[in-house]
Amino acid sequence: MCGIVGLVGHKDAVNKIIDGLKKLEYRGYDSAGMALVEQNSGELCVIKTAGKIANLEHEAHSKYKGAAEAGIGHTRWATHGKPTKENAHPHATELVALVHNGIIENYADLRKSLLAQGISLNSNTDTEVVMQMISLLLSKGVAPLEAVQRTVSSIRGTYAFGIVFKQHPEMIIGARKGSPLAIGVNADGKLSLGSDAVALSGFANQVAYLEDGDIAQLYTNGSLNILDKDGNKAARPWQPISKDQSIPDKKGYEHFMLKEIFEQPSTIADTLIHYIGRPSNKTVNIHPSGISWDQTNHITIIACGTSYYAGLVAKYWFEKYARIPVEVDVASEYRYRTPPVHEKSVGIFISQSGETADTLAALRYIRNLGHTCVTIVNIPTSTLAREANVVLPTFAGLEISVASTKAFTAQMAVLAYMLIEALKMRNDADLSFELAKEFLTVDALILNALDTMQGLTQLAKKLSETKDVLYLGRGVLYPIAMEGALKMKELSYIHAEGYAAGEMKHGPIALIDKGMSVIALCPYDKEGLFHKIVSNICEAKARGAQISILTCKKGRLLLEEAELKCPIYLYPDATQLTAPLIYSIPMQFLAYLTALNRGVDIDQPRNLAKSVTVE
């Protein structure tokens, strides 16, 4: 989502801000801009362009003539107002320029009040309203810090601001509430401001995260003044920026997504090594999570999008093996329905970015009721990680492609570890041992599944010409069917739905004709779901659907015996625990290859953001 970079005291600020913005491209954006106070003219110079950073870079090089030591840059993901140059950030008057991540909820009232005071507005954004309020105070002689303090006290909503002032070229101000904002410092003591550590990784080696309500003044001479929400001086702890927080290269792959798909055997192995020891003598050593499983009789799992599907898989696992009831909900619904939370419930919050606004709000709700909050998160320095009682990192490494792949399978690996730990602590050591042994083979099975990419190219070619795709699954593969459909929608822009196969005849079957492509996730299983889904496939086939079946060797044999003449794609033998990870691979490949055929922007699909920091 929107990204912020701010610099003070660095030489060559223009190029450095552009470098910082390029690092933020992976978050998803639709326009970009920057503002600097030029040293020669003393003017506040603002440049903004719709579309890619390359447009901004081109214009910046032709427009900025003088050097500047303080500046801010922004990538915008439109919320209020279209993704145009006018609506891009920074918003500025001749006194001040401001960039913003977040949403100002009372902007309509504030706008009315400004219009009544004779201030005209040039954009449709909530952000311009805030900038105009600060500018009005500055024009009345109010000092920058006080102007920012007075303005933020009258706004409702979420924000991370970066602000430069014409009359104070030696300083930028950052302020945050709800949206993350960090300060960086390099070895020479030069300061920077960024929406995450990735933005700062090129010009800082340490980072400090601002807290809600903080306002920070960053000076070119390296001094830093942070005031907390009550206006008291505050210090925020510095921590080193790790190598994992800098943008990796594509290592020869055409897209980050493909690289990240192929990284999964090693990312899963890294996750497993951290959490589960090699089982021997009927025991398995497990990393202690700190969760009191013996005191737990209910689990609440909250997440969004792909992370939510990882949570749904865990519901099947925990209920079947540990007999613990699990409630799973999307964070945007959960946070507003003020649900009662079971007395001995543990809250699990799953997120790749750790910054998803709705998931964070749900965590705060459950934490305030006094429950243990666990987060499964890929960015251990994120806001969710800082606010949870227990942090279980996924060790997937920075995920750059907007569509989540390796973080998703790593989330499921952490959930499987939690199940194994829960069983051990709840006196079911034998089952815990058996499941650990079984799950520790999953990285090798994923490696085999990765060999199937070539075999899916023809199917993807057909899918790229279709209008609708229906993914069918049962049991633990029902969430994977939904994940397959989500991947297909977001990457190829083709309409796709994931359905519980048994539910198909309660409605969606009406859509089926020869134009409908159906992908059935259909491994042979001991639980008997294979035979059930085969019946559902027959129902779809009888109505003319174009069926493709993903199964294992035994499944293929049975399908051939039943003379069900559909294309079959073979995957390694799977169990309830390994199947969701194995069958995620063809879901990722099909979406990737279909999008490739359609020539769309695979790593940054339209309208999407990597880090969804607004609700």
Q: Catalytic residues, which ones?
A: 2, 610
| Shortest spacing between CB 135 and ligand F6R, in angstroms | 34
If you ran DSSP here, which 8-state letter would residue 227 be given?
E
If you ran DSSP here, which 8-state letter would residue 611 be given?
S
- Chain positions 452 to 511 lying near ligand F6R, rule: CB under 6 A, are 486, 490
Which CB atom, from 14 or from 396, has the smaller least distance to ligand F6R? 396
Which CB atom, from 375 or from 517, has the smaller least distance to ligand F6R? 375
Alpha-carbon span 523 to 533, nearest angstrom: 10
Determine if 352 is a binding residue for ligand F6R (CB under 6 A).
yes
- Choose, by CB under 6 A, the member of 264, 351, 517, 546 that binds ligand F6R: 351
Token digits for 127? Answer: 């952000």
The answer to whether 298 touches 342, Cβ cutoff 8 Å, is yes
| Shortest spacing between CB 304 and ligand F6R, in angstroms | 4
Determine if 151 is a binding residue for ligand F6R (CB under 6 A).
no
Which CB atom, from 267 or from 306, has the smaller least distance to ligand F6R? 306
How many helices (DSSP H) and strands (DSSP E) are in the chain? 20, 25
The answer to whether 311 touches 348, Cβ cutoff 8 Å, is yes
Which CB atom, from 132 or from 307, has the smaller least distance to ligand F6R? 307
Cα torsion angle, 607, 612, 613, 614, sign: positive
Alpha-carbon span 390 to 138, nearest angstrom: 44
Determine if 403 is a binding residue for ligand F6R (CB under 6 A).
yes
Our measurement of the distance from residue 341's CA atom to the centroid of its chain's CA atoms, rounded to an integer in Å, reads 26
Determine if 356 is a binding residue for ligand F6R (CB under 6 A).
yes
Residue 512: phi and psi, rounded to 5, are: -80, 125
Nearest C-alpha neighbor of 411 from the set 505, 303, 326, 501: 303
Number of Cβ atoms within 10 Å of the Cβ of 144: 21
- Choose, by CB under 6 A, the member of 304, 459, 529, 559 that binds ligand F6R: 304
Size of the site for ligand F6R (CB under 6 A): 14
| Shortest spacing between CB 359 and ligand F6R, in angstroms | 5
Contact pattern from residue 358 through residue 387 relative to ligand F6R, giving x for each residue in contact according to CB under 6 A and a dash for the rest: -x----------------------------
Q: Which residues contact 540 (CB under 8 A, 6 or more apart)?
A: 470, 472, 504, 509, 512, 516, 518, 520, 547
Alpha-carbon span 185 to 162, nearest angstrom: 16
| Shortest spacing between CB 419 and ligand F6R, in angstroms | 20
Determine if 306 is a binding residue for ligand F6R (CB under 6 A).
yes
Which CB atom, from 556 or from 598, has the smaller least distance to ligand F6R? 598
Q: At 7, is the secondary structure helix, strand, or coil?
A: strand
| Shortest spacing between CB 52 and ligand F6R, in angstroms | 21
| Shortest spacing between CB 228 and ligand F6R, in angstroms | 27
Determine if 305 is a binding residue for ligand F6R (CB under 6 A).
yes
Residue nearest to ligand F6R (CB): 305
Buried b (16+ CB within 10 A) or exposed e, 29-62: bbbbbbbbbbeeeeebbbbbbbebbebbbeebee
- Choose, by CB under 6 A, the member of 158, 201, 307, 381 that binds ligand F6R: 307
Alpha-carbon span 559 to 352, nearest angstrom: 38
- Choose, by CB under 6 A, the member of 5, 97, 612, 614 that binds ligand F6R: 612
Peptide bond into 90 cis (omega under 30): yes
| Shortest spacing between CB 404 and ligand F6R, in angstroms | 3
Token digits for 536? Answer: 């559902």
Nearest C-alpha neighbor of 478 from the set 507, 517, 516, 521: 521
Determine if 404 is a binding residue for ligand F6R (CB under 6 A).
yes
Stretch of 119-127, 278-286, 316-324, 351-359 contacting ligand F6R, by CB under 6 A: 351-359
Residues that bind ligand F6R (CB under 6 A): 304-307, 351-353, 356, 359, 403-404, 486, 490, 612
